[in-house]
Structure formats: structure tokens, C-alpha cells
């Protein structure tokens, strides 16, 4: 992985030993590589450099302010799905003219906040949402720039929980209803049509779903034009996968070829909303083994990180590679790496060959930069981990470890 490698038997992030970070900051701890973050965003920027393009980072994957600021200074925008994400993006310095607001459940308050901010556009998910945004915009004396999220009914061939482009999904407007919704949008006061939006799913590892969905999007854009409705932005969403195990996802360059070769005659810019493919392989979660427990049927390695810190394995059955922070000689054993949470579903690795491990050893759960800390919780009253950013031979705390006092902030005893 870019930014993570062994020197001798010791794991490094860029030029910093992981062990040194943990000795200073404790465990569990999230650690990110600035080089990996920069390289991931640059790959998109270079692939689309010949076309008017906004890389609107999907901050749901990882909304740390330092990471947002770093990407924003490199020229990225943001894909936000809540008022809180809009606030974080603006706090981090993301230009409002590069922010798109998606999500199926926008409230009046969130709409007002986004209209006041002057964002690039709203991605509209339903007819009722379109009507509400019209009323809100008119009441404020403003005009809302919109793209309608068109559901192309393309199978993204990914986990059902992160598949968003099929007819049975809660997301978007069915393709066969989309033209009438656009005509309606063109008539509504306070609404200005600026684009088309689609997003078929996350962790996509094949190019054919991108191709099929975009073909339908382009055909629909031409249909809109025939009906007197022009668009200035084609928002393709995100979803490009990363390598967790042995996947071979397409590269931004391969995706750009599929997209740009189909846009001849369309006077429109491109918006991309990558999240996982920017931060996923730029981060890891380091945990310390506490106990070994052998039963009649299984070996358990009990660590200080659990489903409250990284829920993807419990929620999706997701695979994360496991690297020892210091390699030991000897033979590993098959077993489960589990956490301290009082749930049977609390595991990080299940039924896999683990490296030789003893209590006190550190293990790195790889590819944890996306949907790791972002989905972490305080379940079992466990403070969330620190987040660390490594830049060359230096590391800095970009989120302090929570304290017990943080757990009760905002509460009181009457």
C-alpha cells in the first residue's frame, strides 16, 4: 500500500515507525498517510485534467477537518449529505461553489443553510423534495440550483447495503419518470436546473456498471436537450472501489476514458464524488492484543479495538487485511480477532490465518481510512480513538482521543 511498508521487521507509515506513534499516542489509533491522500486525489485530477471537472470529495467516508482542509487546498470540493457535513466542509475551507448537497432526507433547515451558503447545487432525490425546496427558496427570495438524481437501474455488483442504483433502492428518481420531473422542475418557482446526477453504489470493482450507467445518463441528457432543457453539469457520483483483498478496481484514468469519450456534443462539465478511493487505502487502525483465548472450537485474539471503532466487518462482513506492526518468527494460527464490546458480532477478522501474535503485540487493520472513524461510536461507553496524520518523518494529532468527560458532555443529572 502506498505510504505503508516494512523496513526490516517493523511497519512504517511513510518515514515514521508505527510503534513510535503508538508509544506516544496509545491504542487503538487511526493513522493516515498524507502522501497516500495526495496521490489518490492527484490521480483523479490528472485523469480529468483536459475537461471542466470538480472532484467533490464524498466526505461521508472520512470527515476529519485536517483531511478536508488538505484536499480542499489541493482543489477538491465536497459532496455533503447533511447540514453538519456542510458546516464541517465550510469550516475546513472548502469553497462553497464546489459543494454539492445530496441525500434523501434534507430538512427545511438544511435547505436554508445551503441556500444561504450559496452552494453549487442540490442533488434532488424525489418529487416531494423538489416541491419543498421550491417553497423554501421562494420564501427566502432565492433560486436553488438543482440536479435531479436519476436512478439508471444498473446493478453495481457490490454489497446490497451499498448498492444504490437499482429500482428497489430508496435513492433517486426512476429513469422512466425523470423527464416529467425535469419538466416539473423547469416550471417551479425558485428552481434553476443545472445538472443531472447519478450514483449507483459504493466499492465498485468492475468498469461495466460505470459504462452502462453513464450510457443511460448521456442518452437522458440528449433527451432533455430535445425537450428544451439544458444542463451544465453531469454529476456521476462516486463509488470507485479500492483493494481490500485481491480486488482489481479500475483506475481514475480508465474511468475518465469511458466518461470523456462519450461526452462529445454535450456542453457540460463533470462532477465526480469519490470518497473511499481517496481515503480508504490512506489509513489504518492499529490495535493492541490483550488476551489469547482458546476454546474447544476456536482461537480468539482479543484486542482493544472493536466494532465501536471499525464496524465494517460486523456490518458488511467486510474484509480488512491484517499486518503485524512487528513481524514475529514462527507460524500463525487460524482464529478470530475480536474486540472488547459485549456483542457476538464484535469482530475485526473472522476465521482467518493470523500472524504469530502474543498479548501486547500491535496489529494494523489495513484499508481503514474510509468508513472507519466516520462510523465509529461510543457503544459500551468507549471513547473514540485518536486520529494521526503522518507527513514524511513527522506525525501530528488531527483528532484527540476522547476522554471520559467527552462521553458525558451535554448530559446532566437533575
Which residues does the annotation mark as catalytic? Answer: 342
- Contacting residues for 188 by C-beta, under 8 A, at least 6 apart: 130, 131, 134
Q: What is the rounded CA–CA span in Å between residue 400 and residue 144?
A: 38
Question: What is the DSSP-derived secondary structure letter of residue 201?
Answer: B
Which sign, positive or negative, has the C-alpha torsion 183, 209, 122, 55? negative
Do the bridges between strand 191-197 and strand 144-151 make them parallel or antiparallel, or are there none, so unpaired?
A: parallel
Closest to 60 in 3D by CA, of 319, 284, 209, 273: 273
| Residue 370 main-chain phi, psi, to 5 deg | -110, 135
> How far is the C-alpha of 274 from the C-alpha of 78, rounded, in Å?
9
Backbone conformation region of residue 351, classed left if phi is above 0, alpha if psi is from -120 to 50, else beta: left
Classify the phi-psi angles of 228: left when phi > 0, otherwise alpha if psi is within -120 to 50, otherwise beta. left
Looking at 120-256, which runs of residues are DSSP E strands? 121-124, 144-151, 173-174, 191-197, 233-235
Amino acid at each position: 500500500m502506498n505510504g505503508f511498508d516494512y523496513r526490516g521487521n517493523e511497519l512504517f507509515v511513510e518515514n515514521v515507525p508505527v510503534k513510535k506513534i503508538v508509544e506516544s499516542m496509545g491504542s487503538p489509533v487511526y493513522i493516515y498517510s498524507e502522501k497516500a491522500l495526495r496521490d489518490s486525489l492527484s490521480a483523479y485530477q490528472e485523469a480529468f485534467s483536459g475537461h471542466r471537472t470538480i472532484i467533490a470529495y464524498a466526505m461521508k467516508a472520512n470527515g476529519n477537518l485536517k483531511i478536508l482542509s488538505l484536499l480542499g487546498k489541493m482543489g477538491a470540493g465536497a459532496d455533503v449529505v447533511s447540514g453538519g457535513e456542510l458546516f464541517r466542509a465550510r469550516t475546513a475551507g472548502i469553497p462553497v461553489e464546489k459543494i454539492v448537497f445530496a441525500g434523501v432526507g434534507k430538512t427545511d433547515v438544511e435547505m436554508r443553510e445551503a441556500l444561504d451558503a450559496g452552494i453549487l447545487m442540490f442533488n434532488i432525490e424525489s418529487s416531494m423534495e423538489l416541491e419543498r425546496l421550491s417553497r423554501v427558496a421562494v420564501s427566502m427570495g432565492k433560486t436553488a440550483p438543482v440536479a435531479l438524481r436519476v436512478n439508471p437501474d444498473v446493478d453495481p455488483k457490490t454489497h446490497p447495503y451499498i448498492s444504490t442504483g437499482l429500482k428497489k433502492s430508496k435513492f433517486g428518481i426512476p429513469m422512466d419518470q425523470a423527464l416529467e420531473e425535469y419538466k416539473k422542475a423547469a416550471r417551479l418557482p425558485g428552481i434553476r436546473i443545472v445538472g443531472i446526477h447519478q450514483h449507483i453504489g459504493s466499492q465498485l470493482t468492475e468498469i461495466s456498471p460505470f459504462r452502462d450507467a453513464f450510457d443511460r445518463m448521456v442518452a437522458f441528457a440528449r433527451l432533455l436537450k430535445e425537450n428544451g432543457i439544458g444542463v451544465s453539469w453531469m454529476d456521476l457520483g462516486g463509488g470507485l472501489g479500492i483493494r481490500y483483498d485481491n480486488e482489481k478496481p479500475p483506475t481514475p484514468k480508465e474511468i475518465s476514458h469511458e466518461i470523456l469519450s462519450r461526452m462529445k456534443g454535450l456542453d457540460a462539465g463533470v462532477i465526480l464524488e469519490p470518497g473511499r478511493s481517496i481515503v480508504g487505502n490512506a489509513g489504518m487502525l492499529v490495535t493492541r492484543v490483550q488476551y489469547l483465548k482458546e476454546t474447544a472450537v476456536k482461537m480468539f485474539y482479543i484486542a482493544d479495538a472493536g466494532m465501536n471503532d471499525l464496524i465494517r466487518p460486523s456490518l458488511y462482513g467486510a474484509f480488512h487485511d491484517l499486518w503485524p506492526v512487528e513481524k514475529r518468527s514462527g507460524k500463525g494460527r487460524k482464529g478470530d480477532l475480536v474486540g472488547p464490546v459485549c456483542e457476538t458480532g464484535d469482530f475485526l477478522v473472522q476465521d482467518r490465518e493470523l500472524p504469530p501474535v502474543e498479548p501486547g503485540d500491535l496489529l494494523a487493520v489495513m484499508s481503514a481510512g474510509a468508513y472507519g472513524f466516520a462510523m465509529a461510536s461510543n457503544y459500551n461507553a468507549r471513547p473514540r480513538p485518536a486520529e494521526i496524520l503522518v507527513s514524511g518523518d513527522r506525525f501530528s494529532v488531527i483528532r484527540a482521543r476522547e476522554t471520559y468527560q467527552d462521553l458525558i458532555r451535554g448530559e446532566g443529572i437533575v
